[in-house]
Amino acid sequence: MSGTKLKSVLSSFSQVPGELKPLPSDRRSLDDSCVRLHTTENPFPMPEVVMQSAIAALEQQYLYPEHDNIGLREAAADAYDLTKDQVIAGNGSSELLGLIYRAFLAPGDSVAMLSPGFSFNRKLAMLQGAQILEFGCGQSDVLPVEELLSGPAEGAKFILLANPNNPTGTFVSVADIERLAAQSDRLIVLDEAYVDFAPDNGLRLIDHYPNILLLRTFSKSYAAAGIRIGFGFGHPEIIGRLRNIQNVFNMNVIGHAVGVSILAHRDAYEENHRHIKQERERVSVALSQLGFSVTPSHANFLLARVPAGQDGRWWQKALKRRKVLVAAFPESFLKKHIRVSIGTREQMDILLSEASEILGRPKQ
């Protein structure tokens, strides 16, 4: 296609998709020998009983999955003491976030979100021609209820709360979220992707506050990031509207089978969760002893301000050269930070050892 014709095609797009930049096609695949501590994955294999459900589902690969994810929604409703009409199942909770933006936003609308927050929300808002209003309280364990009820946030179509928050790992009390829900007549999207590593959750609010829409995922605490299983819980009217615009057969037969099996065997993950919480505390102390300033976390990762002298990108590159992957951020207020996922004890020992060598200290 000639340059003139391509320019004509692109200029015909509306303003919103016209703002999208093409992704580069030369991204390298990750070296399997790297220690992956950059994507908040769970490092452990599935329990055998769950793995067997995935293998058995392959025998149905020639069939379409259940329409409307009925069996998976019923299993989730039973597990969480809800009705199936209060449940939507998705191809990860990221798909459900996208549905929420499509269903409830129009060009010119706004969304209120704590900052720093999950950066994908900015792209979702942009695609709808909407604006993200960010409030700088994401590194605190106190929810700014009054700020979210008045001022610039007052006109937001919905309020997005991640609890625990990503990338900080901070956790606000469910009582504060309930107070916000009671005083607001707007939708509150409560993203609980990391809640199994936290001391409490907001599930009990669903039946009392029709303006709460709660999201869960099996990517973090249930080691199913590669299979993509997510849920939304809320009032049937809200859930029904989202299901109405969901892509047909949005999940596959393996996702259905694994999701149902996880729901039936959640107790099989207790040791997994216990390990991550223990390693989170051990690594937090060890990083602090190396000169990092670590934000107290209730998730499966740590946000750490790096020692004086370098920034987060420098540390990300230095560790990557040693085949340890961590996350760094472009936002100015996070440039001095890295985010470290909690992996196996062996993986975390490698991280601490390499960080010690970078700092010129003897191995612990």
Phi-psi region of 224 (alpha: psi -120 to 50; beta: other; left: phi over 0): alpha
CA 145 to chain centre: 22
Which tokens is 231 given? Answer: 């849920």
Q: Compute the residue count for the chain.
A: 364
| 3-class DSSP assignment, residue 35 | strand
Domains and CATH numbers, the chain: 31-45+270-358 (3.90.1150.10), 48-264 (3.40.640.10)
Residue 294 CA to residue 27 CA, distance in Å, equals 31
User: Could you report how far apart the first and last alpha carbons of the chain are, in Å?
Assistant: 59
Query: 144: how many CB neighbours lie within 10 A of its CB?
Result: 16
Which alpha helices (DSSP H) does 12-156 contain, by range? 15-18, 48-57, 70-80, 93-104, 120-127, 145-149
At 292-319, the pLDDT tens digits run 999 999 999 999 999 999 999 999 999 9
Q: List CB contacts of 332: < 8 A, sequence separation 6 or more.
A: none
CA atoms in the 13 A half-sphere facing the CB of 297: 31
Residue 118 CA to residue 264 CA, distance in Å, equals 30
Task: Report the predicted TM-score, pTM, of the whole model to 2 decimal places.
Answer: 0.91
pLDDT value for 13? 62
- 3-state helix, strand, coil split of the chain in percent (to 5) is 45, 15, 40
E-strand stretches of 18-72: 35-36
| Residue pair 138/116 in contact by the 8 Å Cβ criterion | yes
Torsion over CA of 292, 115, 197 and 89, rounded to 10 degrees? -150
pLDDT value for 330? 84
Amino acid symbol at 105: L
pLDDT value for 1? 44
- Round the average pLDDT of the chain to a whole number and report it: 91
Which alpha helices (DSSP H) does 234-311 contain, by range? 236-244, 253-264, 270-289
Write out residues in the chain with pLDDT < 50, as ranges. 1
pLDDT value for 29? 63
At 103-143, the pLDDT tens digits run 999 999 999 998 888 888 989 999 999 999 988 765 668 88
- Residue 239: exposed, middle, or buried by beta-carbon count in 10 A (0-12, 13-18, 19+)? buried
| Residue pair 350/35 in contact by the 8 Å Cβ criterion | yes
Of 312, 323, 333, 313, nearest to 354 (Cα)?
A: 323
